[in-house]
Structure 1
Amino acid sequence: MTASVELFGRREETSVLDGLVSRARSGAGGALVLWGEPGIGKTALLHHLRDQAADFLRLSHQAARTESTLPYAGLHALLRPVADRIESPAGTRFPALRDAFASSGGPANPLAVGAALLSLLCELAQQQPVLVALDDAQRLDDATALCLGIVARRVRAHPVVVAVADHSDPAARPWEGTPGMRVEGLTEASARHLVATMAPDADEATVRNTVDQAGGNPLALLEPAVTGGDSADAEHHHADRARPPVGPRLRRAFRAAIEALSPPAQLLTVLAAAEEHGDRRTLQRAGNASGVDDTAWEETVNAGLLHVMDDSVGFRHPIVRGAVYEGAGAAARRRAHRALAAVLAEEAEDRAWHLAAATYDHDEDVAALLERAAARSRLRGDAMAAARALWRAAELSPAPIDASQRLAGAARAAWDAGRAATAQRLLDDAERLAPGAHIARRSHGLRGVIEFARGTPELAHHYLTTDMNLVSDPPTALELGTTAMRAGWSAGRDDLWATALGSLLELDADDRAGLGALLACWSDDPADGVAGGGSGFDDVVVRARATALGLLPPSPLALAWGIDEPMGQALHRRTRRLRLRVEPADLAGVLAHTATLDSFAGRWTDAESAAAEGLRLAQDVGADQVAAHCRNCLGWLAAARGDERTVTEVTADVLRTSLPQGVRAVSAAAYWIRGMASLFHERPEEALEMLMRLAEPGHGAAHPTFALLAALDTAEAAVHVGRHDVAEERVHRLHAWARRTAAPWARSAAHAAEALLGGPGAESAFRTALEVPGARSQPLLHARVQLFYGEWLRRGRRRTDARVHLGGALEVFDRLGAEPLRRRARREWDLTGPPGRRGSPEAGETGGLTAQEQRIARLAAEQLTNREIAAKLRISHRTVGHHLGNVYAKLGINTRAGLSLVYADSEPG
């Protein structure tokens, strides 16, 4: 049979319950007490048991607190389905039960009633097995509990199953001697599965937060998931900073245990719930001042609500803390917070929070205390604590202008903590409450920062350049100005970039010396500025090693300028600091740039790890553009590795949002990646179509930086399809850029592209490209130039020289995992072998064909035309026709269909 309620992670528990049912069908009974904290899943397990025992006579009852003082109230409800067996004339065999049910009778003897109940159940079990299921046994009246305890210990010889759900260990009366099974919390995997099933639309941050706070308690997992609680509101929680939110069902479940305590003990539990650190000395001082004595401490410990260890006091589970606090009532909570505040030092951060929790009206003094607490949280790197403090301070502020300023500060702190939605909401609230320049100052220009991360770069540029003039401190203005430059660069708008640069150069900043030279690296115009490689450029490289990260250009520009190595050093230093300070938004951006630089440096494993981590963080914090950057990094690696499926998926995700928003840098990277994938898989026409968009005026993916970085790819594709005019233009662009920057990659790529055009200077250009100092710092590029040169040498029948360069390229492609290029290099390597011994295990031989004939035959078998084969193999279509004639003669066939049959038969397996 199948349970009607799906259970997660309860295989062991359900196996035990199923065993009870199975043995009862065979004639042997049993009893079990399921025990554990409220909400842990005991009721769900009883439901499972009932479903498995569908062919049993099922007697069930859920005890109620309102009937806990009425003798035999539980027994009466439990036996209602078989009341006729007790009240009929035949029922005279169970006089004790009739006495227990008689409203006018005196108190019945529990031992006699228990024996009568056992007899009744055994008689019923002669017709069909019986299941007795009792939920919330902690609320059961004492008389019924005693009777059921008697029965549970005596049913083994009869097909009767007694299952009880209780909060306490069955070793205590009345279940003493009855087998028990403690129901523990779910594992993290099962908890995630449960939340994902009940709230399939929940984002990763919400799922993680819910699972972390619930501690495996299914009801704590379900109530936030089902009710769809706002995670931003959950973060607020004023004084309730360390207590997970508790739903109404869970709160009710704990209420009985709390209400059973004496008033001093109840107060102690509320004090402990309000004092989140579990500091025993603070609790004792506050408790003593409020009338809490040693007896109250002993009572709460014996009840299992609190545990005391040395100088710390804690609840057995975080959910208990939340349930106690929320169930205490507003007046009791305020009393507890006032008592705790009274025993803390004047400037203690916790004192400010306790006073805030005890205040239900405007209070500027408390608001000011919270603002100072927020400043201290900022200093220690806890941005979210600062955001909560400022948020609460804003609520307590009597003046709207003060509240607005504090909300703006809270918004910035929330953004730095990676809470994008919360930051957006707080900023909107601040502007609605009291709009003005103070919002830009207190939020450090957050409106433009958010727009740059999540919206359109042109609008972000407007906000950022406007707020540069409103903020009061030069470092913030510098940050906004460089972000505005990034926005202009992302939009592919030189005019916006230049406007931001002009504003930056007008700043009165202490470290402005040399700023202009460094910011010149943000330009991607080959004709702009002076030639590189001189002392001025050397100063830029030195400065890049130690400069603030915000002043460095985006990583694609750093690559273009050849300052990727010093920028990488700055990034790694910044990464370590951000991890210590727990600033996920900034960390995601740094990881995205690190992944880009690592990719080009040949550290593909590191690049993939950084991009994947950056993507997770960016998605969590809502940094859409950083997420797109990380996706493009993963797409670039997939293109180089030959994983076209990932390329298609990643670039589709990126372009879906980047094109409408006008984020040309992101769109251009996606087009470049698609072009790379097509080029590496030897589809030059398709590659050229993609790559030409990078320099097409007005196209959504047109961007000068990426047109420059992709210039060699474009030139190679253009040469393959006979568009020498396009290739020549890219050669001129690369040479101009190399003259300006002296970047090793640009010098190498310029000469390699020139060599691909052929002519008498081709070999000299190839050699120059390979000998550029620093060219090996980008191993994929250097190996591709070796491949180009080896192919050129092989076509010139200089097989020995070709094998040297093809072998070097093959080794690099194999080490990196650049599979399409590795296959291409391997084919060329095979063609350079001695006559009669060419070919490889990958190529195989058929009918005495030469290696070149085999390649042509296989492509023809795939129904490629002569011109398509010529483009792939870089030979003329007439040469293809000549070789095909030889193939047909050797194999005794005369059509491409015949070739398809030959190669289909020769495939292994």
Structure 2
Amino acid sequence: MGDTTTGGSGLVGRETEDGVVRAFLARAADRGDALVVTGDPGVGRTAVLDAAAGTAAATGALVLRAAGVGSETEVGHAGLSQLLLPLLDGPEGPPGGALAAVLGVRPGAPPGPLAVASAVLALVDRAARGRPVLLVVDDLPELDRSSARVLGLVARRLPGRRCGFLAAARTGGDPLPDTGLPRLELGPLDEAASAELLRTRAPALPASVRRRVLDAARGNPLALLELPAVLTGDDGGPVPLPPGTRLHAVFARPVGALPAPTRALLLLAALEGTGDLRALRAAALADGRWSDDGWLDDLAPAERARLVRVDLAAGRVALRHPLTGAAAVELASSGDRRRAHAALARALAGDPERCAGHLAQATLGPDGEAAGLLERAAGRARQRGDGAGAVALLLRAADLTPPGPARARRLAAAAAATVDTTGDLPAVPGMLARARAADPRAGRSPAVAAAAAAHLLHAVGDVGTAHLVLARGAATALDEGPGPAAVADALPTLLLACHLAGREDLWRPFDDALARLGTDVPPVLAVAARTLADPARATRADLGRLDDLVTAVQTDADPVSVVRVAAAAAPAGRLAACRPALRRLAAGGGGSRAAALAARVLLAQDGFAAGRWDEAGHTAAEAVREAGRLGYRLLALPAVHVLALLAAARGDEEAVRSRAGDLAAAAAAHGAGLAVHLAAHARGLAALGRGDYDDAARHLAALGPTGRLAPHAPVALSAALDVVEAAVRTGRRAQAAAHVAALRRAPVSAAAPGPALLLAGAAALVAPEEEARGCFEAALAVPGAQEHPFELARVRLAHGEHLRRARAPGAARGQLAAALEVLERLGATPWAARASAELRATGPSARRTDGGRGPASLTAQEYEIAMLAASGLSNKQIGTRLFLSPRTVGAHLYRAFPKLGVTARAALRDALAGVPTPRPPSER
């Protein structure tokens, strides 16, 4: 077995186990050793043995193999003969003595186990003279008893010999319990290893099937390898275990060997799904075949076969593996399954959602009651974040509904939920076709129109046609009166179409429908209609309602609700408050992939605003890729905008051209006027960074005329500081002042830190010279301004530029140095270069006259921190203001104290009084 340290076993997710086996092989080759690999069926015991045998053979060892065979368990020494057969034709001839009769070399009664074991060891010793020997035995529980007894004796006597004994047995089935041999227990693969194995063996598997395989296999390698061949979609039915496969042998045969009453109870347990022993008992009694006295006794055979575990203290029954339940379902007849579902429906009458699911499976023909229960259950499933479950329940409800408007409505609801949550866009046309077949008038239904338009919007990218379909559908529905709820359900998609179109005239049908609905408008839609559509004209009352929704979304599990509230909050500067809910949704989207994608787009926007630029770039790029995979390219436009803004702020002109070009192409191809505004914003920011103010003003003009916040152009609000700076630097101060006045009239500008900082910074840029310093200081003092480091650094930079012009170089250096540090940390290269140039322009700093001590010896950062500490701020407060950790602040003060000749914060004020300003970083 020699050197076993090179290479790996090639078994995915078994690195730790591979290390254990390779160490065993090294010991066995040197001085003898034994190891028994155990684990549940299908977990990969044989694969581990195969890998070990291959490794040993590659290093020159003699590998002898045998495997237990069920039909030979009563044949004496059958396994031993199989194992030693290669040695019978050795150069020294067949063995004699005790082994002769055992191996059939000569007739006679076989000796006792100890004598046979001694003879086996002698034979192995003879074979091991030139190279190590490895004995490999698979399926120990199926080995004949006489061979098992001999091999147990052999395994314990290997130390000191160049021989290893490696065997495999299912957990609990080892026939060598008293040997004390070392064990290696194989558990299921973890999620990452399972996904990797599935990716390498079934790379073309659709995402929905991949998820179903992972859920059903639960880390069992055999299931991961064989299920992809038999699963073609997520139809909600039981996982098939096709006859003739190893998977069927491992999971279905043991279930089929159980008594009929045990299989029936196992079927109830599998379909109940939660493992609640009380629910299983109620279902068993509802079935009628069991009484309350001793009903659980029929589950004992399954316990003895290690197929289930019953914990009476905890009131739980657990299947050993989910595929055991799948086997119980598959082996049952359709009548048995309906009877079990009916019993569970009666037992779970107090749980309407679960009751509806079982009632649907127990019903053969149309059933209005079951369909209604399923539809309501779908609503609850969606509210708790189970988009895929909601779609499955709606489709089953439609199956149980006779042809007509109700069936069409349920199919349309399933299509809409698919678009909003699961992201399975290719399935939507089929659902809509079934809806139209169920009701010839379904084309006029607002539900069908909304689902069809949503598919048009995302899968096709046809903003104009989607808007037309929705506008006409809403108007027709309001005229014909199917109910306000039906119209309200269609309006979120119309709102999105209007937002993407970026045209003021297209908002009229939406505004008309909203006005006609009056108080029947859902709260989220009412608020989004103001903040997402035209944030500059949102009232204080609108913003108050938005705050209530943002508070409520923290505990909202409905992915669609979370996305809609966060989208409404973004233009109003409240996206940061939605961050925890969005992160939960993005991380655990599962069956709500479309909603999770929207959450990532919003998180990318939040990351840029909060100065977490690396995170924002990663999240935005991931969102763009995911949107391409799912087909939601228009939904990813704001993520492309984030990537363009990052490139603009960092001075990557080529990336700005590329990303802005993507946005412009989307605008032209899909009628998405919003993309024109997004591209203009990025191009304008890039021009500001490189100092080309005329070009910046030209690009930003696409957002509307300077001096007026264009209606239905939400980007104009977030780009307000850019617009004002471009106007000021191109000599249009009056227009810039008018723009600031328009910002002041918008309540949203003062209602959150981000918009408030933009307003205050813009106001400082247009303020008269004698008032500018106070305006800049007011901008820097905006509560929460530090949450927006890029904009705050830009305001500091502008303040420093003003102070330098006002002949206050010392004060200018403090602002410029602080701006420079943040801009360098963000990687905002053009802005950092500008700050650095301004620092150099403030002139030389005071020279040291005290031998390296005193305030003049402080760096710019040390000086600013010392000044803040002298004013009474704590390290934490200073860190918050300067975007430093408290530990970093403490380190700066630790270096500053000796330079100032002080030992306590109380002495800082006197030490700093009347001191020249320290040198900027560029001069150090």
TM-score of the aligned structures, taking structure 1 as reference length: 0.70
Q: SS of the counterpart of 1:166?
A: strand
Q: 1:663 to 1:135 in 2, by over 3 A?
A: farther
2:465 is matched with which residue? 459
Supply the AA of the counterpart residue of 2:15: R
Quote the offset at 1:47 in angstroms: 1.9
Report if the CA contact (8 A) 1:522-1:553 is conserved.
Answer: no
1:53 corresponds to: 56
1:163 aligns with 2:172: no
Counterpart in the other structure of 2:670: 661
Residue 182 of structure 2 corresponds to residue 179 of structure 1: yes
- In structure 1, the gaps of 5 or more residues are 527-531, 697-701, 839-906
Distance 1:552 1:294 in 2: 47
1:18 CA displacement:
1.9
1:496 aligns to 2:506 (yes or no): yes
C-alpha spacing 1:657/1:35, structure 2 compared with 1 (3 Å): farther
1:671-728 per-position Cα deviation (integer Å, ceiling 9, x unaligned) = 53354245435576886786677689xxxxx9965467547546756988xxx59x68
Of 450, 453, 475, the match for 1:445:
450
Contact 1:776/1:782, CA 8 A, preserved across alignment: no
Name which of structure 1's ranges 406-415 and 370-379 shifts more when overlaid on structure 2: 370-379
Q: Match for 1:672 among 681, 687, 712?
A: 681
Equivalent residue, structure 1, for 2:905: none
Range moving further from structure 2, 267-276 or 121-130: 121-130
Distance 1:376 1:713 in 2: 45
For 2:155, which of 139, 152, 157 is the aligned residue?
152
* AA matched with 1:434: A
Amino acid at match of 1:255: A
Note the C-alpha offset of 1:734: 3.4
Match of 2:274 among 272, 277, 298: 277
2:858 alignment partner in structure 1: none
For 1:302, the equivalent position in structure 2 comes to: 304
Q: From the superposition, tell whether residues 435 and 398 of structure 1 become closer, same or farther in structure 2 (CA, over 3 Å).
A: closer
- Give 1:411's aligned amino acid: A
- 2:17 is paired with a residue whose SS is helix
Distance 2:465 2:741 in 1: 32
Q: Map of 1:746-757 to 2, 5 A cutoff?
A: none
Q: Equivalent residue for 1:136?
A: 139
Q: Does 1:21 align with 2:31?
A: no
Show the 5 A alignment for 1:358-507. Answer: 358=362, 366-367=370-371, 370-371=374-375, 373-374=377-378, 377=381, 383-397=387-401, 399=403, 403-415=407-419, 417-421=421-425, 424=428, 427-428=431-432, 430-431=434-435, 433-434=437-438, 436-438=440-442, 440-441=445-446, 445-453=450-458, 455-468=461-474, 469-470=476-477, 472-478=482-488, 480-481=490-491, 483-507=493-517
Distance 2:540 2:324 in 1: 63
Partners of 1:343 and 1:107 lie apart in 2 by 61
Distance 1:171 1:139, change over 3 A: closer
> How many Å apart are 1:138 and its aligned residue?
3.7
Q: CA deviation at 1:360?
A: 6.1
Equivalent residue letter for 1:314: A
Letter in 1 for 2:397: A
Contact 1:754/1:762 (<8 A) preserved: no
> Any conservation in 2 of the 1:86–1:98 contact (CA below 8 Å)?
no
CA RMSD of aligned residues (A): 5.7
**1:899 corresponds to:** none
The CA deviation at 1:466 is: 3.2
Match of residue 258 from structure 1: 255
Correspondence for 1:11 among 11, 15, 38: 15
Listed as ranges, the matches of 1:63-74 within 5 Å are 63-65=68-70, 74=79
Deviation by residue 1:775-824 (Cα, 9 ceiling, x = unmatched): 94766556535534643664676646755764675587589885643442
Partner secondary structure for residue 310 of structure 2:
strand
Q: Quick check: 1:41 aligned with 2:44?
A: yes
Q: Is the 8 A contact 1:491 1:664 kept in 2?
A: yes
Three-state SS of the structure 2 residue aligned to 1:488 is: helix
Q: Cα 1:57–1:99, aligned 2, differ >3 Å: closer, same or farther?
A: same
Is this contact kept in 2: 1:793–1:801, CA < 8 A? yes
**Matched AA of 1:456:** D
Code of the aligned partner of 2:391:
A
Partner of 2:842: 832
Equivalent residue for 1:32, pick from 29, 35, 44? 35
1:564 paired with 2:572, answer yes
Q: Please, which moves more after superposition, 302-311 or 641-650? A: 641-650
What displacement does 1:273 show? 1.8
CA distance in 2, matches of 1:265, 1:557: 55
The question of whether the paired residues in 2 share the 8 Å contact of 1:5 and 1:47 is answered with no
Match of 1:885 in 2: none
1:290-329 equivalence runs, <5 A: 290=289, 295-309=297-311, 310=313, 311-326=315-330
Deviation at 1:314, TM superposition (A): 0.8
What fraction of aligned residue pairs are identical, expressed as a percent?
33
| Alignment check: 8 A CA contact 1:136 1:165 kept | yes
Contact (CA 8 Å) 2:394, 2:411: kept in 1 or not? yes
1:465 Cα deviation after fit: 1.8
SS of residue matched to 1:53: helix
Instruction: Report what 1:237 is aligned to.
Output: 236
Shift of 1:6: 1.5
SS state of the match for residue 353, structure 1?
helix
Pairing 1:92-131 to 2, within 5 Å after superposition: 94-99=99-104, 117-131=120-134
TM-score, with length taken from structure 2:
0.69
Work out whether residues 540 and 747 of structure 2, in 8 Å CA contact, stay in contact via their aligned partners in 1. no
For each residue in 1:112-168, what CA deviation from the matched residue of structure 2 results, as whole angstroms up to 9, or x when unmatched?
A: 766665554444334543333233344444454445444434434433323222212
Kept in 1: contact 2:463–2:500 (CA 8 A) = yes
Whole-angstrom CA distance in 1 between matches of 2:62 and 2:757: 85
Deviation at 1:182, TM superposition (A): 0.9
Secondary structure in 1 aligned to 2:187? coil
Q: Tell me the SS of whatever aligns to 1:307.
A: strand
Provide the rounded CA distance (Å) in 2 between the counterparts of 1:555 and 1:281: 41
One-letter amino acid of the structure 1 residue matched with residue 127 of structure 2: L
CA contact (8 A) 1:94 1:116 kept: yes
1-side partners of 2:653 and 2:390: how far apart? 45
Cα distance between partner residues in 2 of 1:771 and 1:377: 51
TM-aligned CA deviation for residue 272 of structure 1: 2.1
Q: Is 1:287–1:293's contact at 8 Å kept on the other side of the alignment?
A: yes
Deviation per CA, 1:468-502, whole angstroms, max 9, x where unpaired?
23483425524533542432232233332233333
Deviations 1:648-687 (A, max 9, x none): 8976887786664343424542553354245435576886
Distance 2:511 2:225 in 1: 52
Match of 2:739 among 734, 743, 746: 734
